[in-house]
A and B are shown apart, each in its own frame.
Chain A
Amino acid sequence: MGVDMKVVVNFDLCESNAVCMGIAPEVFEVRDDDFLYILQEEPAEELRGKVEEAARRCPKQAITVED
Chain B
Amino acid sequence: MAPILVVGASLAGLSALDALRTAGHDGEVIVVDAAPELPSDRPPLSKQVLAGTMEPEAAHQPLANRLAELDAEIRFSTSATALDAATRTVTFADGTAITAEGIVLAMGASPRRLPGGELAGVHVVRTLADSLALRRDLTASPNRVAVIGAGFIGAEVAATCRGLGLEVTMIEAAPVPMVRVLPSAIGGFVADVHRDHGVDVRLGVGVSGLLADGDRVRGVELADGSVIDADVVVVGIGVVPSVDWLEGSGVPVGNGITCDETCLAAPGIVAAGDVAEWFNPHFGERMRVEQWEHAIEHGAAAGRRLLAGDDGEPFGSVPWFWSDQYDRKLQMAGRPAADDEVVMLDGTVEERRFVAGFRRGDRCTGVLGVNRPRHAIQARMRLVESLNWAPIRDLFT
Which residues on A are within 8 Å of B, measured CB to CB? 15-19, 21-22, 25, 30-32, 34, 56-59, 61
Contacts and interface: CB of A to CB of B under 8 A. Distances in A.
Contacts of B380: 22
B373 A18 contact: yes
Given A17-B331, A22-B380, A57 B374 contact: no
A4 to B, nearest CB: 20
Contacts of A22: 377, 380-381
Contacts of A59: 43, 292-293, 322
Contacts of A30: 373-374, 377
Given A56-B62, A61-B62, A19 B293 contact: yes
Contacts of A34: 371, 373-374
Contacts of B75: none
Contacts of A56: 62-63, 296
B293 to A, nearest CB: 6
Given A56-B62, A59-B43, A61-B62, A18 B293 contact: no
B376 interface: yes
Contacts of B293: 19, 57, 59
B101 to A, nearest CB: 26
Interface residues of B, number: 19
B374 A17 contact: no
B296 A19 contact: no
A36 B64 CA distance: 25
Contacts, number: 43
Nearest to A30: B374
Closest 9 CB pairs of A and B: A18-B373, A18-B377, A22-B377, A30-B374, A16-B373, A30-B373, A21-B377, A22-B381, A22-B380
Contacts of B322: 17, 59
A12 B114 CA distance: 39
Given A18-B376, A61-B62, 16 more contacts: A15-B329, A16-B329, A18-B377, A19-B320, A19-B377, A22-B380, A22-B381, A31-B374, A32-B374, A34-B373, A34-B374, A57-B293, A57-B296, A58-B62, A59-B43, A59-B322
A21 B374 contact: yes
A16 B63 CA distance: 21
Contacts of A32: 374
A17 B373 CA distance: 6
A59 B322 CA distance: 9
A32 B78 CA distance: 48
Contacts of A16: 329, 373
Contacts of B381: 22, 25
Contacts of B320: 19
Nearest to B380: A22
18 contacts: A16-B373, A17-B331, A18-B373, A18-B374, A18-B377, A19-B293, A19-B320, A19-B377, A21-B374, A21-B377, A22-B377, A22-B381, A25-B381, A30-B374, A30-B377, A56-B63, A56-B296, A58-B62
Nearest to A33: B374
Nearest to A52: B22
A61 B377 CA distance: 17
Nearest to A58: B62
A30 to B, nearest CB: 5
A32 B372 CA distance: 8
A63 B225 CA distance: 51
Which of B62, B63, B296, B373 has its CB near the most chain A CB atoms (within 10 A)?
B373
Nearest to B379: A22
A30 B371 CA distance: 12
